[in-house]
Amino acid sequence: MTVLRFTQADTLRCRFGASQLWETMSAVRVLNGSRHRQLYADWIAAKQETAAKLDLRGLKAVQPRVGFTPDFLTPPPKASRAKFSTEIARVRSTPLERVRTELIRSRDELKNPAAPEINTMLEDLAGTRERLADEIEAAWEALVRPDWPLISRVLEDDIAYRGRQLTDGGLAGLFDDLHPTLAWEDDRLIATRYRSEDRDLSGQGLLLVPGVFAWPYLVIVVDPAYHPTLVYPARGAARLWSDAPAPPDSLARLLGRTRATLLVALDPPATTSDLAAQYNLALATVAEHLSALYDAGLATRRRTGHQVYYRRTEVGQAVIDASVG
């Protein structure tokens, strides 16, 4: 697990930000790992022809499915709504020694299968830095920028919702609902399924960045050279490209088609009436299935005002993850 330790000053310096650069890098990761990201199938299919025209081999090499992706490619945004041009300029101006250090870590950590390609990159650090930045910029223009109005609306909705949570319930209320693998205990934020170094925030606060292409994972930046950052899945991200994401067939065989559909649909958390309207089901039918998911430990529920919201538990997420490999 990874632990972020807060001081009183840190609790006052948590802020949200949206990053076009982060979204672009995450979109490329989704394309490269499409076999494991079936909830983005509609977007992947829509972009397949465009993506085939792009040369993203450098980014693929330094974005292993398991391992380290260089942080210099996604520096935490300094502004709450940073422009892509500003962020990519920071990538292009990264000190070459940092480029070298992070490429070596990406090569060596968990035996990156693209190690030979990274060895070639290390022979020309300045050229590699430009090549990777060029690939990111090409991906932004072709894959993300055309859909940015739609993407940004989801991000803004998420930030507004999280801001209300922070106002109403403080950090405990915010982190309780942010991701099933996060837990707030006293002055510590614990990521129970994340493998990285612990970090004392030391008064810097924490930057929270929602990601449309992040689902279902977390990214935590703990390197002292960067501002402490947590990238998490934006609410509704899995439904951005499809109003009704279909559950994997293996999950439908296990739980039944309707129950599996409702488990997948709990992103973002939803009420019984929300799900009944979305899937044209009777309230009693949805209530029965949600109750079964709750009893099995796959979903949890929480009252907010007069409404009860259901969301997936860590066990429920693990079942979905297993069903897609």
Q: What is the pLDDT of residues 281-296, one digit of tens each?
A: 999 999 999 999 999 9
Q: What is the pLDDT of residue 215?
A: 84
Order of strands across the sheet that contains 2-5: 182-185, 188-191, 2-5, 199-200
Q: What is the pLDDT of residue 6?
A: 95
Read off the tokens for 26: 């995450």
What is the crossing angle of helices 96-108 and 125-139, to 10°?
A: 80
What mean pLDDT do residues 80-99 have? 95
Q: Which of 137-141, 191-195, 282-286 has the lowest mean pLDDT?
A: 191-195
- Specify the higher pLDDT residue, 144 or 278: 144
What mean pLDDT do residues 108-113 have? 91
Q: What is the pLDDT of residues 240-262, one digit of tens each?
A: 766 556 788 899 999 999 999 99
How far apart CA 91 and CA 78 sit, in angstroms, is 13
How far apart CA 217 and CA 203 sit, in angstroms, is 26
Q: What is the pLDDT of residue 314?
A: 85
pTM for this model (two decimals): 0.75
Please tell me which of 59-68, 115-124, 314-323 the model is most confident about, judged by mean pLDDT.
Answer: 115-124
Read off the tokens for 174: 């915010």
Query: 248: alpha, beta or left, given left = phi > 0 and alpha = psi -120 to 50?
Result: beta
- Specify the higher pLDDT residue, 294 or 153: 294
238 falls in which pLDDT band (50, 70, 90)? low
What does each C-alpha distance from 125 to 101, 122, 137, 319 come to in angstroms? Answer: 11, 6, 18, 42
Q: What is the pLDDT of residues 156-182, one digit of tens each?
A: 888 888 888 888 888 988 998 889 899
How far apart CA 134 and CA 231 sit, in angstroms, is 23
How far apart CA 38 and CA 41 sit, in angstroms, is 5
Q: What is the pLDDT of residue 242?
A: 60
